[in-house]
A and B are shown apart, each in its own frame.
Chain A
């Protein structure tokens, strides 16, 4: 029996309701960004650590979400909710949320607050897997989970509160006439710069992979083991990033429905401009385009779009992507060859540098006066507070439970050492020439 459409018309949704439904659907797609980054992390590591790498991503996502739900969400608070504040020079400084413990009252909270929490859960999971990629082939599974727990409980919540839940950074416009306050609609600061700086701290503490920087020689090339994972991860990440950027624009910028297609277009243009620029740079520099660096460029464009897609014109988004794509391969090379940082996934460049560039670009291209200074103050908080904080936290974790695996584990591979079996059991494992 066919329904009588004339007598049973579809319920009319107001624009506000439609937008909230749209955000819910988008947030169901956002995990694709996490899946994409997880695949990229795995592909850029070695074949003998592939199962441990992907299992680590899963475990870290789980730990980060549980810890954030149990403890972090209280400190992150919600927009318009209670918060801890002090007064300096007659201005309120809202520095920490004071939400209910263990997600109390979530079911009866307004839909927007519930969607905000869902966004934050996905955001903390994404931030937590970023250092895991940089510590590939040497970071213990338990260490990765401990790092994720620390990030989700202590580092991410205050930052999320400052930026998204009415904290002091978001109030810079109201209190100090700095544009619209610090703007970060889709987590360039809260997810990517925090994750990238955490990756830097983790790499500083664990040190490079054995044989990466041999005595009296250049850095040893240790290419990723599966370019297909890496490049397919990029395509998966695009779908997730579109979801994050559009949902973030609605939730944290209150963007109207008409502004959402432009946000999606800007995301696509930033990623496209970035990968085209990286393709050209690596083609000029090495004679052939480099697949893993192009993947890094693509991601850097997406990361930069997290700060800018909801704020700028399509032409500006393309320009921002191109700059991100030029910076990425050059900085990856500088960090490895000049600064002796072993970052297999390139997360420090992609997430920290790409995110910082996006935040600066948001200030440059935003129409409001004072916006650039607001963005600089946010960057000062990230570099001046968050980097020392995560370094201190990881250093303490390392004192209690060493982050780095024993030398033997690194030699036989993390799969055999930690899981007892490899990701590709039918493949022949070759001798590792990088040990000298």
Chain B
């Protein structure tokens, strides 16, 4: 689960980079929104990785 989360994070990065290439500077709002979406995907990956850590930690306690 931790690895899955860490694999999702680069996907978010490439989404953010895609925003720069796909949207022109004149469309700043759409570009910013796309970059934020990329960061949201990264945050999702981080949450999954953290959940994976907590799960493993719980098993070690038991």
Chain A residues with a Cβ under 8 A of chain B: 88-89, 91, 172, 176-178, 204, 207-208, 213-216, 339-341, 369-370, 372-373, 376-377, 379-381, 383-385, 387-388, 391-392
| Contact in complex: A341, B39 (CB < 8 Å) | no
Quote the shortest CB–CB distance from B23 to chain A (angstroms). 9
Quote the shortest CB–CB distance from B2 to chain A (angstroms). 7
Known: A215-B62, A339-B54, A341-B53. Contact between A383 and B13, CB under 8 A? Answer: yes
> B-side binding surface: helix, strand, loop or mixed?
helix
| Contact in complex: B42, A383 (CB < 8 Å) | yes
| Contact in complex: B28, A213 (CB < 8 Å) | no
Quote the shortest CB–CB distance from B30 to chain A (angstroms). 11
Contact pick for B61, options A89, A216, A373, A385, CB 8 Å: A216
Separation of A340 and B14 alpha carbons in the complex (Å): 30
Separation of A177 and B17 alpha carbons in the complex (Å): 14
Separation of A272 and B3 alpha carbons in the complex (Å): 39
Quote the shortest CB–CB distance from A175 to chain B (angstroms). 8
Known: A89-B21, A373-B32. Contact between A388 and B7, CB under 8 A? Answer: yes
A-B contact pairs, 22 of them (CB 8 A): A176-B20, A213-B61, A214-B61, A340-B57, A370-B25, A370-B28, A373-B31, A373-B35, A376-B16, A376-B36, A377-B16, A380-B17, A380-B38, A380-B39, A383-B9, A383-B12, A383-B13, A384-B11, A384-B13, A384-B42, A388-B7, A388-B10
Question: Cβ of A339: which chain B residues have Cβ within 8 Å of it?
Answer: 50, 53-54
Chain B residues with a Cβ under 8 A of chain A: 2, 6-7, 9-14, 16-17, 20-21, 25, 28, 31-32, 35-36, 38-39, 42-43, 46, 49-50, 53-54, 57-58, 60-62
Contact pick for A380, options B7, B16, B53, B62, CB 8 Å: B16
| Contact in complex: B28, A373 (CB < 8 Å) | yes
Question: Cβ of B9: which chain A residues have Cβ within 8 Å of it?
Answer: 383-385, 387-388
Quote the shortest CB–CB distance from B14 to chain A (angstroms). 8
A388 — nearest CB in chain B belongs to which residue? B6
Separation of A341 and B49 alpha carbons in the complex (Å): 12
Known: A89-B21, A172-B20, A176-B25. Contact between A384 and B38, CB under 8 A? Answer: yes
Separation of A91 and B22 alpha carbons in the complex (Å): 12
Determine which residue in B2, B16, B38, B43 has the highest number of CB atoms from chain A within 10 A of its CB, and name it: B16
B7 — nearest CB in chain A belongs to which residue? A388
Question: Cβ of A373: which chain B residues have Cβ within 8 Å of it?
Answer: 28, 31-32, 35
| Contact in complex: B16, A384 (CB < 8 Å) | yes
B25 — nearest CB in chain A belongs to which residue? A177
| Contact in complex: A380, B13 (CB < 8 Å) | yes
